[in-house]
Amino acid sequence: MKDLEPQAANIGKFDNKFTTADGSVRASVALNDPQTLWFNTGTLCNITCAHCYIDSSPTNDALVYLTTAEVETYLDQIAERGWPVREIGFTGGEPFMNPDMIDMARLALARGFDVLVLTNAMRPMMRTGMRAGLQELQARFGDRLTLRISLDHADQELHDEERGPGSFAQTLKGMDWLRDAGIRMAVAGRSLWDKTDSETRADFAALFAQRGYAIDADDPAQCVIFPEMDLSAEVPEITTACWDILDKSPSEVMCASSRMVVKRKGANRPTVLACTLLAYEPEFELGETLAEAEVDVHLNHPHCAKFCVLGGASCSA
């Protein structure tokens, strides 16, 4: 997997969990307010995007399907540990490839959590059984269920350049269905192209108005524009001094408020990772239980610097 290869621009850095290349103390982040528990439902996806951060595809099953019973054990642990979680997130791969997707969402909603499902809204979501399940969840739980649709850009050509010909039309078909079913939607776009944030949002606003989607393109929670992860770029290591220099608090970083559960192919049980961004990095695997996942996370990866501390991205809505 791509995350495991050291990048030439960063040779000598990110070698030691506790200290940086110049011997400074590496920054770490405590789990001080766990608000979101993510479940990776499996890495299989119906498409192969050019820049998928987790290398999903129709053949990548490095992370296998989670089951409802496995999700239930973690929802029990949230209660046992007294974590103040308000939201359960499901990501993949394409979550609607997982046959348990509706059951897992129903379980989390019935326990009182808000549920966020990240999807491309294509054929897996549009299967008859999934649509029936989504309608049932909407009728029972209303706006506590949100589907966040990966729509890279409001321009069909740019979206299809990333996801393949015809994918924009398929995703809009899925979004039209969600609109008509009254299911709450958000959108996740990307900043791959030479456009400013406000230009990208203006393009989305025009599309949402034209299609009648109740999504506010100017609200970063409803329309997330992700920064890109350039794996070849040179990035600085983050030391404990950086927080003051950047006027940033460790509590603003995603691993202060969330964890992700995955199940690796061949494993007997799921395991808990520091965040959604480093699914294949052994150092960011914290243990099988939420209790084990309460440890501090040392920011020993280029993504920590580029994507989180300097780029300010969060996967949660």
Residue ranges binding ligand SF4 (CB under 6 A): 29, 45, 47-49, 52, 56, 92-94, 120, 150, 253-255, 274-275, 277-278, 284, 297, 299, 301, 303-304, 307-308
DSSP 198: H
- Cβ neighbours of residue 221 closer than 8 Å, sequence gap 6 or more: 186, 317
Closer of 45 and 141 to ligand SF4 (Cβ): 45
Closer of 134 and 254 to ligand SF4 (Cβ): 254
* Beta pairing, strands 297-298 & 223-226: unpaired
Closer of 208 and 307 to ligand SF4 (Cβ): 307
For residue 268, give both structure tokens: 């007997």
**Minimum gap (Å) between residue 302 Cβ and ligand SF4:** 9
Closer of 85 and 278 to ligand SF4 (Cβ): 278
Q: Fill in the amino acid letter for 283.
A: E
Residue 182 region by backbone torsions, left for phi larger than 0, else alpha for psi between -120 and 50, else beta: left
**Minimum gap (Å) between residue 55 Cβ and ligand SF4:** 8
**Minimum gap (Å) between residue 276 Cβ and ligand SF4:** 7
**Minimum gap (Å) between residue 142 Cβ and ligand SF4:** 26
Closer of 94 and 114 to ligand SF4 (Cβ): 94
β partners of residue 26: 239
Residue 224 and residue 148: Cα distance in Å, rounded? Answer: 9
Q: Fill in the amino acid letter for 298.
A: H
Closer of 115 and 253 to ligand SF4 (Cβ): 253
Do 39 and 77 touch, CB atoms closer than 8 A? Answer: no
H helix count then E strand count, the chain:
9, 11
Closer of 141 and 149 to ligand SF4 (Cβ): 149
**CA torsion through residues 26, 31, 32, 33, sign:** positive
Q: How many other C-beta atoms lie within 10 A of the C-beta of residue 176?
A: 14
**Minimum gap (Å) between residue 309 Cβ and ligand SF4:** 6
**CA torsion through residues 103, 106, 112, 116, sign:** positive
Residue 266 region by backbone torsions, left for phi larger than 0, else alpha for psi between -120 and 50, else beta: left
**Minimum gap (Å) between residue 163 Cβ and ligand SF4:** 6
**Minimum gap (Å) between residue 268 Cβ and ligand SF4:** 25
12: three-class secondary structure by DSSP: coil
For residue 220, give both structure tokens: 């970063």
Closer of 272 and 299 to ligand SF4 (Cβ): 299
Q: How many other C-beta atoms lie within 10 A of the C-beta of residue 112?
A: 11
**Minimum gap (Å) between residue 209 Cβ and ligand SF4:** 25
